[in-house]
A and B are shown apart, each in its own frame.
Chain A
Amino acid sequence: GENVEQHPSTLSVQEGDSAVIKCTYSDSASNYFPWYKQELGKRPQLIIDIRSNVGEKKDQRIAVTLNKTAKHFSLHITETQPEDSAVYFCARGMNTGFQKLVFGTGTRLLVSP
C-alpha cells in the first residue's frame, strides 16, 4: 500500500550516543526519500534526502542509507546532542512528475545531557 512504516516511535539516548531510525515502504515506484525534523509547534525542516540512484548520503553527523531492493531506508545521527531532540519523519516521494510525499508515523527522539 501507500503507507510508510517508521520505527521506533520513541527513542531515548544519552548525549554522544548514536541514534538510528528506520522506515520501510512497499511502493516500488518511490524514488525520493527525505527526512524531516519537526520541533514542537513548528514546521518540518528538511535535514537530508536521498534519491534512488544512490545508496548512502552523509552530511556531517547525519547520514541516510537506502536499500531499494529491500524497500527500506534509515536515518543515522552520530554524536547526538540535546538540540537533536525533536520528532523525525521519514517520507517517500511518488514518481508522478511532482514530489507528492507520503510520511512515516514519526519518531520522537530525546537526547539526554
Chain B
Amino acid sequence: GAVVSQHPSWVICKSGTSVKIECRSLDFQATTMFWYRQFPKQSLMLMATSNEGSKATYEQGVEKDKFLINHASLTLSTLTVTSAHPEDSSFYICSASFLAGGTDTQYFGPGTRLTVL
C-alpha cells in the first residue's frame, strides 16, 4: 500500500514553454500532497503544500504564479511550471500523506526530471 506515482518521469522542453507534472496516490486518498524540488547532490526543498479543494500554500521564495498547483481530487495533484527557463531544470518530487493508525507518513513519488533547453 501507500504507492505514489508521478508522470512524466522525465521531460525536456524549450525555454518559455509550460510543463505539467502529475502526482497520484494509487491506493489511498491523500488529503495533503507536497511538492519538492531537488537540485543535483542537494537536499529536497519543499516548494508547496497542496490541499484538496483549496489553494496551495507556498514556501517562502517560491513564486506561486510560476509554479501552479492544482489539487482537484483526493488522489491527484498537478504542478505546472509556467514559462520554464533553464534554471528551472531540476528533479521535481511529490509526496502524499498516508494516514494510518492515527499518524500520517509521507510517501514519495518517483520524481520527474525536468530539463529546460
Listed in ascending order, the chain A residues whose CB lies under 8 Å from chain B are 34, 36, 41-46, 49, 51, 89, 98-106
* Secondary structure call for the B interface: strand
A45 contacts across to B, CB distance below 8 A: 108
Distance of A77 from chain B, by nearest CB (Å)? 20
Chain A residues with Cβ under 8 A from B54's Cβ?
A: none
**Given A101-B34, A101-B46, A106-B43: A42 touches B105 (CB 8 Å cut-off):** no
Chain A residue with Cβ nearest B33 = A98
A-B contact pairs, 25 of them (CB 8 A): A34-B105, A36-B108, A41-B91, A41-B113, A42-B110, A43-B108, A43-B110, A44-B93, A46-B107, A49-B105, A51-B103, A89-B44, A98-B31, A99-B104, A99-B105, A99-B106, A100-B49, A101-B46, A103-B43, A103-B44, A103-B45, A103-B46, A104-B43, A106-B42, A106-B43
Q: Is the CB of A98 within 8 A of B93?
A: no
**Contact A100 to B103, CB < 8 A, known contacts A42-B111, A43-B108, A43-B109:** no
Count of chain B residues with a beta carbon within 8 Å of a chain A beta carbon: 22
Within 8 A of A (CB), among B64-83: none
The yes or no answer to B89 lying at the interface (CB within 8 A) is no
**Given A105-B43, A106-B43: A44 and B108 interface contact (C-beta under 8 Å):** yes
Chain A: interface secondary structure?
Answer: strand
CA of A36 to CA of B32, assembled, Å: 19
B46 touches A98 (CB 8 A): no
Which residues does chain A contribute within 8 Å of B107, judged by CB atoms?
Answer: 46
In the assembled complex, the CB of B98 is this many whole angstroms from the nearest CB of chain A, namely 10
Verify if B97 is at the interface (C-beta below 8 Å from A). Answer: yes
Q: Given the known inter-chain contacts A34-B106, A44-B108, A49-B105, please indicate yes or no for A98 contacting B49, CB distance below 8 A.
A: yes
Alpha-carbon distance between A100 and B47 when the two chains are bound, in angstroms? 11
